Structure 1
């Protein structure tokens, strides 16, 4: 009886936890929606359209070049995973697979693109689930190490100014930045000096990478975030401080993660307008972000859908060849 009572209590706590999580997410979504509405009300939409029309073909091509470079860097995260795990999938399979997953991740959320699709494609090409988990862990760690390095530096050096009514404040942001840099330093120190290299966590083996791999993770992650900010910077009027754009992008990205909104839809716009409207007209900010979404989200997604179909055919062909050999 006591055992059943404990199980029932645990289930109740779990249910309450799920409802609380969903409630907080819904509340944050409503806050973002209200904030975005308040920021874009009385928006001069004709000015937004004129700004979009003013983008030259050369500028659009430069934007596509930055997008291509960013996706190439992000896809290389899975190459680090290949070297980390030692799996035998060729690079010509890893890179398009990672590209597809990143495009779906950006537009449909991490659970669909970053996790579910990665497991599906990698296992169809013959990798074991445990190996895919390790590749995924390297990719996620690389992304957030780069984030923490850049955000920690920008926040600590006060290269981004928050509105006065934001509760975090400049000092609070500096403290957060210092904390992020300490996490980066701790990770590098562990990879360099830790005598114990392996841990077990929930049935998965965690192996610390070498210092060289950890430094590559941090470098590639930082480059990718910097390229994303460079695209927004390109689409904005001249005279805006690039580190400011990078800092705002980093703030908006973590806000998007917290709210669980796919593609950070509305979150990105709300944060950028709130933090940049004292320097740039709202219409120009919104036009730049529409262009950013078209170049960095929608165009790669359309291409990724076609590449995904090719990968599915490729994996089926590989499976048939494997079955015929046996």
Structure 2
């Protein structure tokens, strides 16, 4: 998405948006506090001895499988940027792009989208000679790939009825199915726009949005959905075997929205609260928490440690290049 002339401020200062901005922060804070209260109440009812025993009983084979699926997930996410390379039509090799995608994803997961998704991409792609406008296009396409992929897989899981809400919840399973149908319609609408829209370019607040081809849009939805499926597969591998995969995937998808609303880096506490709240009627709270702790270690912490080293290597190479180019 490339930058053009800014639009007049008067167009955005509508009464509806003014009221939304007024209530957005207090509503977010209330949601955040409700999750803290929920997680605190659940934490008090968890048998922590069971948590530690479950962690100690993990088989090496299970941890290796979870690590392998994590690697696959990171590679799939990095491929979002390969689509971006085609989108901006810049001559970059996959060996240049994949490290940027992997480093950005690890920092994004642990330190927020602004640090990983935005700042890290700008720094690393700038070193590869990519203009700011093209970096913005890659970032925008990556975001679209992630969330349209989310709509496809969440729509499929929710509308299928495979995800059942616990007894006594105000949000019924039928309401969840309706949400799923809506998400599928939105994702199909995106594909239809990419295929049939005669107008391919819009300017929104000074940013040009260009529709990709249908083929590229289908690839976006497939890769985005696959990454969410792999994330859930990592959790599924680490949770008790009596749980089925579709409910685990469904709970992950619900927790992702809760994490976006609260803006907490890594969704710390939010993921655990949602999983315990929605699955404690199926398995013990202690086994759930133990699996999620292992998930955080394998999917969040370990990749961050590896990518910090990768980033330092990239910076060292860039510094040595600058030194070698200095006139003597």
Q: TM-score if structure 2 supplies the norm length?
A: 0.90
1:152 partner SS: helix
Corresponding position of 1:103: 106
> Is the contact made by 2:166 and 2:281 (CA closer than 8 Å) also made in structure 1?
no
Match of residue 119, structure 1, among 119, 122, 140: 122
Q: Verify: 1:287 aligned to 2:280, yes or no.
A: no
1:318, CA displacement in angstroms?
5.2
Corresponding position of 1:231: 234
C-alpha distance in 2, partners of 1:275/1:153? 19
1:206 partner SS: strand
1:215, CA displacement in angstroms?
0.8
Corresponding position of 1:135: 138
Task: List gaps (5 residues or longer) in structure 2.
Answer: 1-8
Correspondence list, 1:73-112, <5 A = 73-112=76-115
C-alpha distance in 1, partners of 2:181/2:204? 28
C-alpha distance in 1, partners of 2:18/2:202? 30
1:157, CA displacement in angstroms?
1.3
C-alpha distance in 1, partners of 2:142/2:168? 36
C-alpha distance in 2, partners of 1:131/1:323? 28
Please give the root-mean-square deviation of Cα atoms over the aligned residues, in Å: 2.4
Per-residue CA distance 1:149-172 (angstroms, 9 max, x = gap)? 111011111211223444332222
Corresponding position of 1:3: none
1:278, CA displacement in angstroms?
0.9
1:255, CA displacement in angstroms?
0.6
Bigger drift between 307-316 and 56-65 goes to 307-316
Give the number of equivalent residue pairs.
317
C-alpha distance in 1, partners of 2:120/2:62? 33
- Taking a change above 3 Å as real, the CA distance of residues 17 and 240 of structure 1, as seen in their structure-2 partners, is closer
Per-residue CA distance 1:88-127 (angstroms, 9 max, x = gap)? 2322121111111100110111111111221222123221
C-alpha distance in 2, partners of 1:118/1:167? 41
Corresponding position of 1:187: 190
Q: Verify: 1:211 aligned to 2:196, yes or no.
A: no
C-alpha distance in 2, partners of 1:235/1:86? 40
Corresponding position of 2:44: 41
Correspondence list, 1:1-80, <5 A = 20-80=23-83
